[in-house]
A and B are shown apart, each in its own frame.
Chain A
C-alpha cells in the first residue's frame, strides 16, 4: 500500500519555495511599477477596460467557489479523505487563499483603490459587481466562522454554516457569469449561458485543485493513505464529468454562432481565428482539454496529477476567451478610427507590468495557503487535532 502512493513532484517543498521566490521577486517589481506609475504602464484602455488581472480575479474566485462547494458536500456526505475535519480546514484555507489574491487583482485594477470600501458603505445592489463583492466577503466571514466551529466538538452549527457557505461559494462563480451576462452592450456576453459556463469552469478548476491539494495533504498525513485511492477516484470522475459538461456548454454557445444565418458573431470569429486563436486551440482545447482528458482516462496516478495541474493553469484561458473577445467588438462601427489613441482601440496585449503583478497575485495565493495551513497545524497541535 505504502509504495502505491505517488506524491506529485511539483509539490516538492524546495521546488515550490523556489517558484515562490521567483514569483515574489518578479511580482515586487510589478507592484513597484503599479504604485509609482499607476495604470500608465498597463495595456488596457477605454474600449477594452479589463485585461489580465480581471481574468485572474475570475479564475481565482472560480477555484475558491468550485473547490469549496465540491469539498464541503463530500465532507457532508462522509467521503473518504473529505470526512477528515483537518482536510475541511485545508479546504477553508484554500477558499480564502484563492479569493484574497483575487481581491488584490481587482483592487489593483481599480482607478481608485482607496475608495473600494464605498462598495460596502454606499452600495448599489442593482450592480452585479456590488452583489459579487458582498458575496465574496460573506464567504470569507462564513468560512472563518466554519473554521472556528470546526474546533468545537459536537458543534451543532458547523454543518448548517457549511451548507450556507457552500451555497454562497457556488453562487459567486455563476454570478461572475451574470456580471458579464447583464451587459447588453456586449452581444457576446449577453447570454443566459454565461453564468452556467462560469459555474462549470469553476467546478472544473476547483476539482482539479482538489486533486492536487488532496495529494499534498495525504503526503503529509500518511496515516490516512488508505483513503487516497477512493478520494482520487471520486475527484477524477467529478473532474472528467464537469470538464465534459463545460465543453458541451461551450459547444452549445459556439454552435448557435456558427449556424445562425442572421448573425455574424465577430467575437466567436476572434476566438477561433483571431490573433489569440492559439489561446483557444492550443491552451484551452489541447492543453486544458484533450491532453488532460486522455491523462485522466489512463491508469497512471502520475498522469492524474499532471492533468489536474494542466487544467488549473490552462483554464484561465476560459476567462480570457470570454473577457477579451466580448470587449474587442464595438457596437458603433468606426469608433476606433474616430479618435486615435492607444487606449481607444479594440486591441489588447497584456504588458510586462501586468504579467509581473500577476506573478505577485499567484505568489500571494500560495503564500496565504502556506500560512493558513501553518496556522492550522499550530492550532491542531495546540487544541489536540480533533480528528473525526
Chain B
C-alpha cells in the first residue's frame, strides 16, 4: 500500500471538512423553510366592502364573495384558502377548464384545471363521473422542496406559487407532483403552424400572448421569456382573490359545484359544507394534505 499515515490524515481532514460543509448546507435549507424570502408579488391593497346585502338565501357565489372580502381584512398568514368540489353537482361542462385557460391565457399543452371523467357500470346502467383537478395547494407540498433554486414555495396563506423569473425550467417539480398538477410552458401558440398564407392573422393573437395577470404582474408570452420555459400551475387565482374576486373556476361553475373560501374562518361557507358532509382528498396515502376537498 502506498498511502502513508500523513496521506490518510490529510485525506481525513479534507473529507471531514467537505462532509461538514455539505451537511451544513442541507440542514440550513431543510430547517429554514418557513423563513423563506417571498419573491412572488403579494397584493395588500384595499378591497371594497361588499355592496350587496347578503343572507343565507343569496346565491352561494355572492355569499363566498362576501366572505372573501372579510377574510382579506386579515393579515395574509391568518388566511388559509381552500376549495371544495361537490362531484354530485359537477355536470362535466368544462366551463372551469375553459374559464381558467381564458383567465390565465394558457397556451396549448398547459392546463391548470382539467376535468377527469370516468365511466362506471355496464350499459344501460352506466354513469359518468367527473372530477375537476386543480392544484391541491398541499399543506405538505412535494413539489417545492425539489426545486433547486427556491423558485416555488408555499405562501403564508397556503397557496403554492412559482416565481417565473427565478424558475430555471428543470421540470423536477413536474415529476414530484403526484397529481400531475404542474405543466411546462414549452412556448406553443394556438396560431403557430396554421394555414395562414395571406398572413391575415398577423402573428400570434392577443388571447394567447397576453397580457394576463398571474401573481399580480402583467405577463406577456413572447420569444423565450418567462413564463415560456417555466413550470406553471393553478394558484387559486390569487391575483383575483386578493382583489376580492373569486377564482375564475368558481364563478364559471354552472352547477355551483366549486366552493372556495377561508378554511381559517369557522363560519365560512366552505367550512359549513365540509362539516355537514363526508369529504375526501385525492391520493390521501401520499400524505400531502391537500386543501382541495371532494364530496362524492
A-to-B contact residues, CB < 8 Å: 38-40, 42, 45-47, 49-50, 76-78, 109-113, 115-116, 118-119, 122-131, 133-134, 138, 156-157, 159-161, 163-164, 167-168, 182-186, 327, 330-335, 337-339, 341-344
B188 at the interface (CB under 8 A from A): yes
Q: Which of A45, A126, A156, A186 contacts B6 (CB 8 A)?
A: A156
Q: How far is the CB of A388 from chain B (nearest CB, A)?
A: 10
Contacting residues, chain B, for A130 (C-beta < 8 A): 148-149
Q: Are B178 and A184 in contact (CB under 8 A)?
A: yes
Is B178's CB under 8 angstroms from A331's CB? Answer: yes
* Neighbour of B3 across the interface among A42, A122, A159, A184, CB < 8 A: A159
Chain B residue with Cβ nearest A35: B224
Evaluate contact between B170 and A156: CB separation under 8 angstroms: no
Given A46-B182, A131-B26, does the pair A40, B188 have CB atoms closer than 8 Å? Answer: yes
A-B contact pairs, 18 of them (CB 8 A): A46-B180, A46-B184, A123-B148, A124-B29, A124-B147, A125-B28, A126-B33, A127-B146, A130-B148, A138-B18, A185-B175, A185-B177, A331-B283, A333-B118, A334-B117, A335-B116, A335-B180, A338-B117
Q: Which of B148, B182, B187, B226 contacts A124 (CB 8 A)?
A: B148
User: Is B220 interfacial (CB-CB < 8 Å)?
Assistant: no
Pick the residue among B11, B118, B169 that contacts A111 (CB under 8 A): B169
Contact call B170/A110, Cβ cutoff below 8 A: yes
Picked from A128, A164, A341, the residue with its CB within 8 Å of the CB of B109 is A341
Contact of A184 among B2, B10, B142, B171 (CB under 8 A): B142
Chain B, residues 165-201, CB within 8 Å of chain A (1/0): the string is: 0111111101111111011111110000000000000
| Interface residue ranges of B8-43 to A (CB < 8 Å) | 10-11, 13-15, 18, 22, 25-26, 28-30, 33
Known: A183-B175, A186-B175. A112 touches B229 (CB 8 A): yes
- In the complex the two chains form, is B187's CB within 8 Å of A40's CB? yes
Inter-chain contacts of A115 with B (CB < 8 A): 149, 166-169
The 3 closest A-B pairs by CB, nearest first: A111-B169, A111-B229, A160-B10
Known pairs A42-B186, A157-B10, A338-B114. 5 more at Cβ < 8 A?
A38-B229, A39-B187, A126-B29, A130-B149, A160-B7
User: Please, which residue of chain B has its CB at the minimum distance from the CB of A331?
Assistant: B178
Q: Are A183 and B148 neighbours in the complex by a CB distance under 8 Å?
A: no
The smallest C-beta distance from B180 to any residue of chain A, in angstroms, reads 5
Complexed CA–CA distance, A381 and B142 (Å): 54
- In contact, B115 and A338 (Cβ under 8 angstroms): yes
Shortest beta-carbon distance, B141 to chain A, in Å? 11
Q: Are A112 and B180 in contact (CB under 8 A)?
A: no
Query: Are A330 and B180 neighbours in the complex by a CB distance under 8 Å?
Result: yes
CB-based contact B186/A38 at 8 Å: yes
Closest residue of chain B to A118 (Cβ to Cβ) is B149
Given A40-B187, A335-B133, check contact A50 B171 (CB 8 Å): yes
Contacts of A47 in B (CB 8 A): 180
**Contact (Cβ within 8 A) A124 B150:** yes
Q: A111-B230, A164-B18 are in contact. Are A78 and B2 (CB under 8 A)?
A: yes
Q: CB distance A160 to B109 under 8 Å? A: no
User: Once the chains bind, are A111 and B116 in contact (CB under 8 Å)?
Assistant: no
Write out the residue numbers on chain B whose beta carbons fall within 8 Å of the beta carbon of A339: 97, 111, 114
The chain B residue with its CB closest to the CB of A158 is B7
Task: Give every chain B residue within 8 A of A342 (Cβ-Cβ).
Answer: 109
* Complex contacts, A76 vs chain B, CB 8 Å: 2-3
A116-B168 in contact given A183-B176, A185-B178 (Cβ < 8 Å): yes
- Please tell me if B255 contacts chain A, counting CB pairs below 8 Å: no
Q: Are A185 and B111 in contact (CB under 8 A)?
A: no
Interface residues on chain B, number (Cβ under 8 Å): 67
Find out whether the CB atom of B166 lies under 8 angstroms from the CB atom of A129.
Answer: no
The 0/1 profile, CB within 8 Å of A marked 1, for residues 209-235 of chain B is 000000000000000101011110000
State whether A126 and B145 are in contact (beta carbons under 8 Å apart), knowing that A46-B109, A157-B10, A337-B117 are contacts in the complex. Answer: yes
Q: How many A-B residue pairs have CB under 8 A?
A: 202
Query: Which residue of chain B has the shortest Cβ distance to A335 in the bound complex?
Result: B180
For B28, the chain A residues whose CB sits under 8 A away are 125
The CA-CA distance from A127 to B118 in the complex, in Å, is: 35
A45 and B133 contacting across the interface, CB-CB below 8 Å: no
Q: How far is the CA of A134 from the CA of B176 in the complex (A)?
A: 21
CB within 8 Å for A49 and B174 given contacts A40-B186, A110-B169, A124-B149? yes
**B1, B131, B169: residue with the most chain A Cβ atoms closer than 10 Å:** B169
Q: Of the candidates A39, A112, A118, A138, which one forms a contact with B226 in the assembled complex, judged by CB atoms under 8 Å apart?
A: A112
Residues of A within 8 A of B231 (CB): 111
Which A residue sits closest to B37, measured CB to CB? A122
Give the residues in chain A near B3, CB-CB below 8 Å.
76, 159
Closest chain B residue to A186, Cβ basis: B175
Cα distance A201–B231 in the bound complex, in angstroms:
31
Q: For residue B99, give the distance in angstroms from its CB to the closest CB of chain A.
A: 14
CB distance from B204 to the nearest CB of A (A): 14
Residues of A within 8 A of B188 (CB): 40, 343
Which of the listed residues B14, B133, B187 has the most CB atoms from chain A within 10 Å of its own CB?
Answer: B14
Nearest-CB residue, chain B, relative to A78:
B2
Assess the B1–A77 pair: CB atoms within 8 A.
yes
A249 nearest CB across to chain B (Å) = 23
Question: Is the CB–CB distance between B168 and A159 below 8 Å?
Answer: no
Q: Is the CB of A125 within 8 A of B187?
A: no
Structural contact, B7 and A128, CB atoms closer than 8 A: no
Please give, as numbers and ranges, the residues of chain A lying within 8 Å of B118 by CB-CB distance: 333-334
B286 within 8 A of A: yes
- CB nearest to A39 among chain B residues: B186
In the complex, the answer to whether B166 meets A156 with C-beta atoms within 8 Å is no
Asked whether, in the complex, the Cβ of A129 is within 8 Å of the Cβ of B170, the reply is yes
Determine the chain A residues whose CB is within 8 A of the CB of B187 once the complex forms: 38-40
Kindly list chain A residues whose C-beta atoms are within 8 Å of the C-beta of B186. Answer: 38-40, 42, 45, 343
Interface pair A118/B145, CB less than 8 Å apart: no
Cβ distance B137 to chain A, nearest Cβ, rounded Å: 16
Which residues of B sit under 8 angstroms from A164, Cβ to Cβ? 11, 14-15, 18
Does B54 have its Cβ within 8 Å of any Cβ on chain A? no
Closest Cβ of chain B to A175, distance in Å, is 11
Q: Which of B109, B180, B187 has the most CB of A within 10 A?
A: B180
Q: Judge whether B2 and A77 touch: CB under 8 Å.
A: yes
Residue numbers in A under 8 Å from B283 (CB-CB): 331-332
**Complex alpha-carbon distance, A212 and B273, angstroms:** 69
